[in-house]
Amino acid sequence: MSKVAFLFPGQGSQFIGMGKELYERESVSKRIFDEADEALETKLSSLIFEGDAEELTLTYNAQPALLTTSIAILEKFKEAGITPDFTAGHSLGEYSALVAAGAISFKDAVYAVRKRGEFMNEAVPAGEGAMAAILGMDAEALQQVTDKVTEEGNLVQLANLNCPGQIVISGTAKGVELASEQAKVNGAKRAIPLEVSGPFHSELMKPAAEKLAEVLDACELKDTNVPVISNVSADVMTEKEDIKAKLIEQLYSPVRFEETINKLIDEGVTVFIEIGPGKVLSGLVKKVNRRSKTIAVSDPETIELALQTLKEEYGNAE
């Protein structure tokens, strides 16, 4: 029987109106949005459904909004009796993956990611950090570029190893600028500055990681029900102590997404279901391995399609 992995997106996939149809039509999904409003003592759902796009993009809003929408979708899979063989997420999406795997309650997770966003926002003053996507260069060659720029006094490092030929770098604004220029000199096809509010997944996030550790201390973490592939190690994590350590380390370490997908394929996964807004991760999976089946689910129609496909082709539903 085919193995199925649930994948959960990170920042950048959010948009105004995501999850609204589910909220209006599905009681199990509505409950998640209501729980988020209660946990955060604010109308997050109103911001998600009819708020300002710029406000939603702020990291401390985008993170709980994406988690909430992803878990609201997940509830329909739980209702149908579908359990994945593995879960994984991209950066913030790792928290959704951990909720799906029973390692943390939704209530604790939504509070933790709100604080995570606040800490990330505070760690580096606006304009001092940056990120850029480097296309058409392998990790080893790009690593040499970032190491050299960092040694010369402008910190920059690999942040997201997404798929072959797509790597995001992160660090000081000057470091990212210099590394982008040097990468193009060394053969990169393009260097695209990203519209982000900080240098995520770089050493500059260590102050945020220290504060996040205190928040996670107050959360009840459990061993997982299904294996979760860690962003930091691209390997299985199942034990609560390991999960906490990895979540802290994740803030200033690269997201090894390409290796994560290869690990899941090695474990026998042939079906990847992206649970949350957008199709970013489905696209990355195809670039890692075009033979893999991907299903992106974000609304009642795509959920029904995914459930039908799983029942017909894979027998993965009760």
Tens of pLDDT, residues 237-296: 999 999 999 999 999 999 999 999 999 999 999 999 999 999 999 999 999 999 999 999
For the chain, what's the residue count? 318
Residue 270 is predicted with a pLDDT of: 93
318 pLDDT tier (thresholds 50, 70, 90): very low
Q: Which of 13, 29, 70, 91 is catalytic?
A: 91
The C-alpha atoms of residue 252 and residue 200 are separated, in whole angstroms, by 7
Residue 2 is predicted with a pLDDT of: 80
DSSP single-letter state for residue 275: E
Residue percentage of the chain with pLDDT more than 70: 98
With a cut of 70, say whether residue 317 has pLDDT above it.
no
Mean pLDDT of 53-66: 95
- What is the chain's Cα-based Rg? 19
196 pLDDT tier (thresholds 50, 70, 90): confident
Residue 314 is predicted with a pLDDT of: 63
Answer yes or no: are the C-beta atoms of 48 and 56 closer than 8 Å: yes
- pLDDT per position as a tens digit, 7-24: 999 998 999 999 999 999
The C-alpha atoms of residue 34 and residue 235 are separated, in whole angstroms, by 34
- pLDDT per position as a tens digit, 206-218: 999 999 999 999 9
Q: Chain-wide mean pLDDT for the chain?
A: 95
Domains of the chain listed by start with CATH number: 3-123+204-314 (3.40.366.10), 129-196 (3.30.70.250)
Give the strand pairing for 86-89 and 3-8: parallel
Known catalytic residue at 90: no
- Positive or negative: CA dihedral 37, 215, 13, 25: negative
Mean pLDDT of 189-218: 94
- pLDDT per position as a tens digit, 152-190: 999 999 999 999 999 999 999 999 999 999 999 999 999
Give the strand pairing for 156-163 and 269-275: unpaired
Known catalytic residue at 91: yes
Mean pLDDT of 123-138: 92
Task: Enter the tokens of residue 59.
Answer: 């990291």
User: Which secondary-structure segment (H or E) carries 89?
Assistant: strand 86-89
Q: Which residue has the higher pLDDT, 2 or 84?
A: 84
Q: Which of 45, 70, 180, 201 is catalytic?
A: 201
Residue 235 is predicted with a pLDDT of: 98
316 pLDDT tier (thresholds 50, 70, 90): low
Name the residue among 137, 140, 139, 151 with its Cα closest to residue 181: 137
**In Å, how far from its chain's centre is CA 209?**
17
| Terminal Cα-to-Cα distance of the chain (whole angstroms) | 14
